[in-house]
Structure 1
């Protein structure tokens, strides 16, 4: 594993429930488009890689697909098993998954490439387990992001918080542009054909306290930043957040947070 993979394991250990209540709801926005891109339908043998709290698995099963799922975090595996009883959900991590060559008609990974140290190797592995003529569809967060994506980072910066030294980034030689063209080029480099990439934009609606709850509990890299200076740092960032989030507040009191993701798909 790369240093980034190691830090990702540390970030997500034991945080499945907090993720499901907060960022899991955000990530569910892209599920319909992701499954459409994978041509998921009745009878499709589909693997949900990085299944998280199970939103993709449940939606694919709802389409009649024959779904299996895998995640590196045991808590996420347990959450998906609860959400989708009867689905085969296993522990496994990229770039080595516990499935034979050509096992699936479609493989999907919703925001998973954001969390692996060698994205190209991960896509090559997804290609290995997909049959000839099958489809692979993936999403990542677009960079630069939309204003809603930057809100909590802005609050942390205003509070003087800095990224913890142990929190690694993807090595430059393994990174790629987080744009439709950049993600599409990565799929092409992995050997996929008929590659297409696009941006997906939406406003995520949430109560201000609910949106803060995720990073405050340490979810994702942003949660590690918010907690980098202990309770005093969290409180300082929260004061900044309370001011900044007003710019996104609607008449109903909920935040409308603009987000933008990249969806790319291709054929084996």
Structure 2
């Protein structure tokens, strides 16, 4: 899957949605000052940046040098390298959600923004997030409403299905259906699970600004576009353009499912 890409490519593809989503997600998770938080699947740092803005990079306390207030981990070498440059000195590690390299009860909260649906084993990943979170702490995750057709990529996948009805989109990924993310947290052993919808709106100056990032090879959508021959790619581009009716500028509103539970 196309996530070993430049951080800039991911930023132009998804950052315009994930950055405003991070603020609403942190609010939903109830992350207050003085908390130590792990960003699981941190990518180039959309959620990490919001956490650092609110919490600072390190705790202030009586320990020499303090402890990290915010830490991040991601399986993409390119994203880890970019986050280390973006957040110098912050503890950013290479690794997977299913095998977190931290001791038990290391954090007050563990968050996963737009990650659970790409985990090899979502329940195992959420269990690991719970393991590294102290008793009474919070584990929270959010995933775009791909199954309900309200995600930021929904206009793209609708156009794909018009031309290629058998194409595999992202609607079957874990957590993409209403209630499913909360069920995954419950199976992973979290208690007091609460669910919500989070909404963000992004403005595009024109169609080319919206379309070009799909050609960067990011994620399942980018993989799909890269697999098309030039004629089919142009046909898809035209189909997507027609969906926006030539409006410039235009807004895209996206909804994410969110769920949080207690360890």
TM-score of Structure 1 vs Structure 2, range by shorter chain: 0.7 to 0.9
1:224 corresponds in structure 2 to 223
Q: Quote the Cα distance in structure 1 between the aligned partners of 2:158 and 2:28.
A: 33
- With the length of structure 1 as denominator, give the TM-score of the two structures: 0.84
In structure 1, the partner of 2:252 is 257
Measured in 2, the distance between the counterparts of 1:91 and 1:185 equals 28
Structure 1 position 162, deviation (Å)? 5.8
Q: Quick check: 216-225 or 12-21, which moved more?
A: 12-21
Post-superposition CA distance 1:17-58 (Å, at most 9, x none) = 211122122122221222123332332111111111211111
Deviations 1:90-113 (A, max 9, x none): 101121111111110111110100
* Secondary structure at the counterpart of residue 201 of structure 1: strand
CA distance in 2, matches of 1:176, 1:71: 19
Following the alignment from structure 2 to structure 1, what is the Cα–Cα distance between the partners of residues 6 and 166? 22
- Give the equivalent residue in structure 2 for 1:125: 128
- Conserved 8 A contact 1:196-1:264: yes
- Following the alignment from structure 1 to structure 2, what is the Cα–Cα distance between the partners of residues 197 and 119? 17
Q: Distance in 1 between matches of 2:256 and 2:49?
A: 21
Aligned CA distance change for structure 1 residues 265 and 26 (closer, same or farther; 3 Å): same
Calculate the TM-score normalised by the size of structure 2.
0.85
Structure 1, unaligned stretches of length 5 or more? 1-7
Between stretches 228-237 and 121-130, larger displacement belongs to: 228-237
Of 168, 188, 191, which residue of structure 2 is paired with 1:190? 188
The RMSD of aligned alpha carbons is 2.2
1:204 alignment partner, one of 199, 202, 205: 202
- Aligned-partner Cα distance in 1 for 2:167–2:42: 27
Which stretch shows the higher mean deviation, 212-221 or 200-209? 200-209
Distance (whole Å) between structure 1 residues aligned to residue 7 and residue 86 of structure 2: 13
Deviating 4+ runs (over 3 angstroms): 157-164
Q: 1:103 aligns with which of 106, 112, 125?
A: 106
Moved more, 47-56 or 27-36: 27-36
Question: Are 2:79 and 1:76 equivalent residues in the alignment?
Answer: yes
CA contact under 8 A between 1:162 and 1:228: conserved in structure 2? no
- Are positions 1:86 and 2:89 aligned together? yes
- Following the alignment from structure 1 to structure 2, what is the Cα–Cα distance between the partners of residues 144 and 81? 35
